[in-house]
Structure 1
Amino acid sequence: MNKSSLISSKMQGIDEETCVELLKLAYESVKSGIDNSRREFHRDPAQYDYRTAKAVWMNAQIKKLFQEAFIKSSLRTKVKHLKSHGVDYYLLDGKMLLCFKKMDYRNRVSGFYSKRFRDALSGNAVHYSKSMLDNLSRMGISKPLPIYYIGHILDKANRLVDVRLVNYEDMKIKVLQSLSILFSPNLFSVNASKSDTDESDNNLVRLRPDINIKKPRSK
């Protein structure tokens, strides 16, 4: 099984062609968004010289490019843009949510220690805004949807190191794939990625001891 087929099988049964187009658009949006942002930071460094300015600008640029790209593609009827508590989600075929986030080298997205993310990680229902819940309800969606994160990893100079697809389940990483590798020229000659070794101890999500998530006791 090639990588694109493998990832498709892990993404809620989304067909391979749709899966590849979606991830490629996401990957290219991240690359262009980071490149554009770095040029902007160089042009006007003083404007972005506070703690979260660069991260916020980069994520906004990535989402802007992704939205422009999928509207012009065959995905325009398959992807819906939703928003909850300031977080942008992209609903694909009513089966899964995509979310862009900065990520560290240990595959932890920004906001990793927030309650909302801990709920998603532990399998609890994520608290979405009433507006987003109403939109989902109008589409006939009432069950919790898995969230797939597109994470960009940067070095200290804000250069792009990797773009990764990550999905968490039951306090572990269920899917982990480098999109940089997936869409490199040697796509079919690279060995199977970590996405098909999710049982490995290396894929466990490491939490700080003081907020370790415990499964609720069965009643």
Structure 2
Amino acid sequence: MLTDLFSPSVQYTLDIAGIFVFAISGALLAVRKNFDVFGMAVLAEVTALGGGLFRDVMIGDVPPTAFTDLGYFLTPLFATVLVFFLHPEVERITRAVNVFDAAGLGLFCVTGTTKAHDYGLGLTASAALGLATAVGGGVLRDVLAHEVPSLLRWDRDLYAVPAMVGSIMAAVLLRFDSLNGLTSGFAVATAFVLRLLAMHFGWRAPRAWHRRSAAVEEV
């Protein structure tokens, strides 16, 4: 089913593009944390490949693609080199990087859901793994950098919710045997646009109802 959505060459190109942008975000966080080049490479690899590795292990697709295709492994290293030498310039185009990151989020939540379903998982589990594919690398990145994961922080723009919407849309389309190149593209675009709107308008998930705690979020 996954190969029916996009041609193999298109799928591969989209995967590499998403991996590259996710890796950029990991390497930039390492720079802000004053990590050395090895730490930058680790955060870049984890951010770019962590979600897909988790999904592949869970569904039994081993060894994961990240270890069988050199392009998947080398792309984050290329991003690390780029950030190592040009991080001031990359920081200046953070908004553009965030736009591509949103596109990767939309793509990975849909392809992750589809791949999990291809391996026999139910629709709910497939959607959950689609979400994990999209946001798992970012969670691992933040944990390794001693940060509260962004998707758990109330003061961050919605990130997991757009991916969740895209995953659920893919699962519903699978349920009605309606997932194809056009409808999957619509699911990807929906997650992408929701993430862009969240960044533009500062949308955040609500906190506990009638919350009385005076605690504030750590910076």
- TM > 0.5: no
Structure number having the greater strand percentage: 1
Q: Please, what TM-score do these two structures have when normalized by structure 2?
A: 0.30
- What TM-score does the superposition give when structure 1 sets the normalisation length? 0.30
Which of the pair is proportionally richer in helix?
2
